[in-house]
Amino acid sequence: VKLTPNVADIGVTAKAAEAAGADGVCVAGAQSSLPLVDIYNQGKPQYHLLNGVAHGSLGGPATKLMGFSLVANIAKKAGLPIVGGGGLETWQDSIMMMMWGAQLVTVCTAAMWYGWENISKQVEGMEKYLEKMGYTDYSQITGQSLQYLRSSKDLDAINGWAAVEEEKCIGCGKCEKPAHCNAVTMVNKKAIIDPVKCLGCGICEALCPTKAITMQMA
C-alpha cells in the first residue's frame, strides 16, 4: 500500500494498514508543495503546465530527510516491510534509507533526471558496499540507525561542549558564525571555545572543514 506523507503520524497509518492485512507499505517524503516563482515576472511559477499549477507532491533531493523520518517512524511503530523513497540519488542515499528501516527503496526523480543508469549505478554501489563491509544480506543493515532515534523529550541538547584541537585549526572562522552562539572567539587566527558559554549544539563541529572540533561529553 502506498501511504501519503501528508498526515500527522504516519506510524499510526502504517499500523492501521498492517491491521487491515497489508503485505507492506511504500512511502516517500513527498510533502504537498508548490513550485518556485519568477519574482521578476509577477510571480509566474517556474514550473507549470499550460494552464497553471496545483498543489502537488514534492520529489527529488529536498525530500530525502523527510523520507528518512517517515520510514523510521513506520519502522518503530509497525512491523510490516517498508519500501522507502524520496530523493534517493546515490547508492549511499539508498543504504541510508535502509539503515533508517526500509527493506526496499524506490527511485523516481533521479531516474527521470539522469536515466535508468542511475539505478544500475546505485545497485552496483550498494552491492560493492555490502561486500566491502562484510555483510551478506541487506537485512543486516536494515534499521541499524533506529537505535539512535529518541523521542524529543528524551533528547538533551546541553550534554557537552565543543573542544578545538589547535594544531588542526586553520583559522577560517566558520565556527565563529553561528548566530545563536557566543562561545567562540578567534585569537591569533585560532578558534578558542569557552566551554561555559557553549550550548552543546554541535553545529561548529559540523561546520569545521578540518575536523578540528569535537564534542566532549559532560
Ligand X SMILES: Cc1cc2nc3c(=O)[nH]c(=O)nc-3n(C[C@H](O)[C@H](O)[C@H](O)COP(=O)(O)O)c2cc1C
The site for ligand X (CB under 6 A) is made up of 2, 28, 30, 59-60, 63, 85-88, 106-110, 112
* Residue 170 lies near ligand SF4 (rule: CB under 6 A): yes
Q: Supply the minimum distance, in Å, between the C-beta of residue 11 and ligand X.
A: 18
Q: How far, CA to CA in Å, does 136 sit from each of 84, 93, 97, 128, 139?
A: 21, 19, 18, 11, 9
Stretch of 23-31, 72-80, 123-131, 196-204 contacting ligand SF4, by CB under 6 A: 196-204
* Residue 199 lies near ligand SF4 (rule: CB under 6 A): yes
The H or E element that residue 37 is part of is strand 37-38
* Residue 185 lies near ligand SF4 (rule: CB under 6 A): no
Q: Which of 65, 111, 202, 214 binds ligand SF4 (CB under 6 A)?
A: 202
Q: Which of 76, 141, 178, 214 binds ligand SF4 (CB under 6 A)?
A: 178
Alpha-carbon gap, residue 3 to 172, rounded angstroms? 46
Would strands 82-85 and 184-187 be described as parallel, antiparallel, or unpaired?
Answer: unpaired
Q: Are 176 and 191 in contact (CB under 8 A)?
A: yes
Alpha-carbon gap, residue 112 to 8, rounded angstroms? 30
Q: Which of 22, 138, 200, 214 binds ligand SF4 (CB under 6 A)?
A: 200
Q: Is 26 left (phi over 0), alpha (psi -120 to 50) or beta?
A: beta
* Residue 212 lies near ligand SF4 (rule: CB under 6 A): yes
What residues make contact with ligand SF4 under the rule CB under 6 A? 162, 164, 169-175, 178, 181, 183-184, 191, 193, 198-204, 207-208, 210, 212-213
